[in-house]
Amino acid sequence: MGGVEDEEPALKRMRLSSYNGSSSVECTVGSSSGLMARPLSAEGEDEVIGSTGIIKRREFVRIITKALYSLGYKKSGEHLEEESGIPLQSSVVNVFMQKILDGDWDESLATLNKIGLHDEGIVRAASFLILEQKFFELLDGDKVMDALKTLRTEITQHCVDSTRIRELTSCIVSPSGLNGLSRRELVRVRTRLKLLEELQKLIPPNVMVPEKRLERLVEIALIFQREACMFHNSLDKEISVYSDHHCGKTQIPSRTLQVDTNGGLSIKHKLCGHQKPVSSASWSPNGQELLTCGVEEAVRRWDVSTGKCLQVYEKNGPGLISCAWLPCGNYILSGLNDKSICMWELDGKEVESWKEEKTLKISDLEITGDGEHIISICKENVILLFNKETNDERFIEEDEIITSFCLSKDSRFLLINLLNQEIHLWNIGDLQLVRKYKSHKRARFVIRSCFGGFRQSFIASGSEDSQVYIWHRNSEDLVDVLPGHSGAVNCVSWNPANPHMLASASDDRTIRIWGLKCLNVKYPNAYSNGNHHSNGGELR
């Protein structure tokens, strides 16, 4: 499997203490005689297992052996090596690891050159890591002159990065060491076990089997199955390695649980004060306050527990058309009908204003989770991503008129509803269109969509045919269509805390709460933060 190895079955193990610590590590130790004596035996090298014939038996046995040792099953690992005749690592690698853990740096370098690495770049990089560890430990032992000699005569031979050399030099002359850490703190962070982990990343895996390789392969397989499952909408802990994963359609909220006040909901407060219809609402980051915006009127901030209006935000002349909270919860944003955007302190003091066509008369306004980028519709087919710190502007341009949009929870994707009955998913990092969703109906009204479900794996949207449409986010497949309303469904909102709960609002003057057909999962803190919109008029 690459590298040089003696054919020794049961490898001896010894317990060693890591440098500057009391923890122990299991280290493979083989015979040190004849380190470059002969290559690995080719017997069984091409033997494969599995129905597809793509798994090499020797590799498979080695990663199982590695997993056994990593899990603490030392005797089982040794027995597998002896019974299979396949050693985990060559005796050269065993000696190399032993020398690293012993802090025998000269022998570590000598053994590194006997492992059989053919890439000089890897040898140079590994040598630098070893000598860097030697350098830090010499400093930790107050052997400053020896450390300086190592830096000048050894490290500079392997490191071509002049910046790194200067950083190491600063460790000698500065008491704060590197990155603000003292010399002793540096050594505590950079233990010999950590050094071995870094070396494993450099040295080819057929020479040193990576830590937790078997775990990684199983995780990849489970993640692949989860992503391929069209209906997956449950916690990862419900996935098992015992069988292939597949969810049924029962994981999708498709049954009406509560309809308006007749199904168990009760009115907590009536928030009175707006003179015009309310076009949007936005929950505070802590869920204790609510912003509401009247159509070209004012924004009001409410205490959810008491129903009291805490503040009114308005300007002489232009009316406010949208509202949103900054992630910190200390400021709010509002779009105005003069196409500007304002930022306010909670007490009503205006602290910033951005003009020059930053928004249209559409009540959609979002801000990214880092609080830096304001997202708005600046032209009928263009979305603006405005950096409020640098004033930089980026744009998403569509071929059709944009009617609404929604930002993902991780602030990486934007869901855009278009006039032509399509919903587009954009990556706002590289401004790339990545998915399209179709089938819902839109002719006259603004129809809104949202992300939702477990890991926001689904897209839901209202529709003018009185139904709710749900797609699988990655595959674009239509997962379900929910009938029940008797009027156009204008808006949907998926509960961010409970992936099995969805709400829809319709022109039939009802709000429906959708859940699973079989109720067997409970999720705490199931209130919804974010922006919510209301529209009953025709799109003009």
Report DSSP state, residue 308: -
Give yes or no for a contact between 468 and 493, defined as CB atoms under 8 angstroms apart. Answer: no
Establish if 391 belongs to a structural domain: yes
Same domain, residue pair 190 and 268: no
Same domain, residue pair 182 and 316: no
> Residue 39: its pLDDT value, please?
37
Residue 319 to residue 363: CA distance in whole angstroms: 12
Establish if 480 belongs to a structural domain: yes
Give yes or no for a contact between 301 and 309, defined as CB atoms under 8 angstroms apart. Answer: yes
Same domain, residue pair 167 and 311: no
> Residue 264: its pLDDT value, please?
60
Same domain, residue pair 422 and 290: yes
Establish if 155 belongs to a structural domain: yes
Establish if 78 belongs to a structural domain: no
> Residue 188: its pLDDT value, please?
61
Question: Going by DSSP bridges, is the β-strand pair 255-259/511-515 parallel, antiparallel, or unpaired?
Answer: antiparallel
Establish if 71 belongs to a structural domain: no
Same domain, residue pair 126 and 261: no
Give yes or no for a contact between 499 and 451, defined as CB atoms under 8 angstroms apart. Answer: no
Same domain, residue pair 127 and 256: no
Half-sphere exposure of 469 (CA within 13 A, CB side): 25
Same domain, residue pair 204 and 255: no
Q: Which residues pair with 479 in a beta bridge?
A: none
> Residue 245: its pLDDT value, please?
84
**Which of 173, 208, 243 corresponds to the end of one domain?**
208
Same domain, residue pair 203 and 257: no
Which residue segment(s) compose the domain that 424 sits in?
A: 251-515
In single-letter form, the type of residue at position 172 comes to I
Same domain, residue pair 363 and 476: yes
Same domain, residue pair 321 and 179: no
Same domain, residue pair 282 and 387: yes
> Residue 296: its pLDDT value, please?
83
Give how many domains the chain has, as a whole number.
2
Residue 167 to residue 331: CA distance in whole angstroms: 41
Give yes or no for a contact between 247 and 236, defined as CB atoms under 8 angstroms apart. Answer: no
Establish if 4 belongs to a structural domain: no
- Global pTM? 0.68
Q: Tell me, what CATH number does 410's domain have?
A: 2.130.10.10
Q: What is the mean pLDDT of each run of 10 residues along the chain (540 residues)?
A: 42 41 41 37 68 92 94 95 93 93 94 91 93 90 90 85 84 66 62 90 91 93 88 79 84 79 70 87 90 89 94 86 91 88 93 76 82 91 92 94 94 96 96 96 91 94 96 94 94 90 91 79 47 43
**Which of 208, 239, 273 corresponds to the end of one domain?**
208
Same domain, residue pair 171 and 263: no
> Residue 177: its pLDDT value, please?
55
Establish if 168 belongs to a structural domain: yes
> Residue 23: its pLDDT value, please?
40
Establish if 377 belongs to a structural domain: yes
> Residue 493: its pLDDT value, please?
92
